[in-house]
Amino acid sequence: MSKNGKIRKAGHAGSWYTDSGTELNSQLEGWLSKATESLKPARAIIAPHAGYYFCGACAAYAYRQVEPSLVKRVFILGPSHHVRMSNCALSGTETYETPLYNLTIDVGVYEELYASGAFDTMSLNTDEAEHSIEMHLPYVAKVMESRKGQFTIVPILVGSLSPDKEAKYGQILSPYLHDPGNLFVISSDFCHWGKRFAYTYYEKSHGKIWQSIEVLDKMGMDIIEKMDPPAFTKYLQTYQNTICGRHPIGVLLNAIDHLKRTSNGIKMELRFLKYAQSSQCETSHDSSVSYAAAALVMK
C-alpha cells in the first residue's frame, strides 16, 4: 500500500466554499436548521458537490438525516472529474484538511480494501484537484462535530465503471454498508444541461426546458429509489442524462442489491428529500446543473 503521510490540502476552500471556519460553520448551521428530519438514521446519503452557493441548501436535506452517535466511519464515494479511470482509487494521504477541523483516514479499512486487489492509489495532485469528495468534507465535519476525533473517513474516487465493475465494487463494499457503524456519502450532481455540457435533451411536451430537465431527473430518481441497478443502467443508456455521480450511485445500488440477496429479512428504504436546479433554463443558450438529496435507511 502506497502511503506518503501527507495532508490533503483543502484546495477548493476560498473558491467553491469559504475558507473561514467561523463563516463556514455559520453557513452549514443555517442550511441544516432549515432542512427537515424525515428519514433517520441514514445508512447512506446522496448529495451534490457543486459550490455551496448553488447546492449547500440542498445538500443539507441529506446530511440532516445523519445520526452522529451511531457513526464510527464515513465512506465518501465521489466521481473522478479530471483523470480517466476504469477502477476505484484510494487516497495516498492519511489526513484530509477542512476549515473546521481535519479528518483522519481509516488506514485499517484501506488495508482491507487494498487486499481485494481492486483499488488503485490516487496521486496527491489527483486527490487535491478533485472536488467531488472535498465538497462533502465540511458537511461531514459539521454533522459529526459531537464525535470529533472519534470517527474516521474512507474516501474512494470512483472511475468510469462498467456495469460489471459497479457490481464488483458493490459486492466488496456491501459488508461495510451493512454495518450500522458506517455511513456512506454518495457524491453526485444530476443533469448538466446546456451546450457547454454538450447535453441539450428537451422533451417539449413537458413544458419549458427546465421542466423537461426536472421530469428527466425525477425519472432517474424514481429508479434509484426502487434500488434497481439494471434499470438505472438502462435509464442512463436511453437518455444519456449527465449525472456525474452515476458510477458512485451504481456502486451503492449494487451494494444494496447484494445485501438484499445475502441478508435475510433486511428492509431498506431509499428516498429523495430535495431537488433543485442552479437556474431555470428557458432557451438553448441557457445552462443549469441539477441537485438532489436522498437518504437510505435500513430496518
Q: pLDDT 10s digit of each residue in the chain, 299 long?
A: 344 468 999 999 999 999 999 999 999 999 999 999 999 999 999 999 999 999 999 999 999 999 999 999 999 999 999 899 999 999 999 999 999 999 999 999 999 999 999 999 999 999 999 999 999 999 999 999 999 999 999 999 999 999 999 999 999 999 999 999 999 999 999 999 999 999 999 999 999 999 999 999 999 999 999 999 999 999 999 999 999 999 999 999 999 999 999 988 899 999 999 999 999 999 999 999 999 999 999 98
Q: Are 287 and 281 in contact (CB under 8 A)?
A: yes
- Total residue length of the chain: 299
- Is residue 125 left, alpha or beta, with left meaning phi > 0 and alpha meaning psi from -120 to 50? alpha
- The β-bridge partners of 293 are 274
Concatenated DSSP letters of 49-90:
-S-HHHHHHHHHHHHTT--GGG-SEEEEEEE-SSS--SSEEE
Concatenated DSSP letters of 130-189:
-HHHHTTHHHHHHHTGGGTTS-EEEEEEE----HHHHHHHHHHHHHHHHSTTEEEEEE--
Q: Are 232 and 223 in contact (CB under 8 A)?
A: yes
User: Among 3.90.180.10, 3.20.20.150, 3.30.499.10, 3.40.830.10, what is the CATH number of 7-298?
Assistant: 3.40.830.10
Q: Where are the domains of the chain?
A: 7-298
- The β-bridge partners of 271 are 295
Look at residues 235, 155, 156, 140 and name the one whose alpha carbon lies nearest to residue 190.
Answer: 235
Alpha-carbon distance of 175 to 59, in angstroms, equals 26
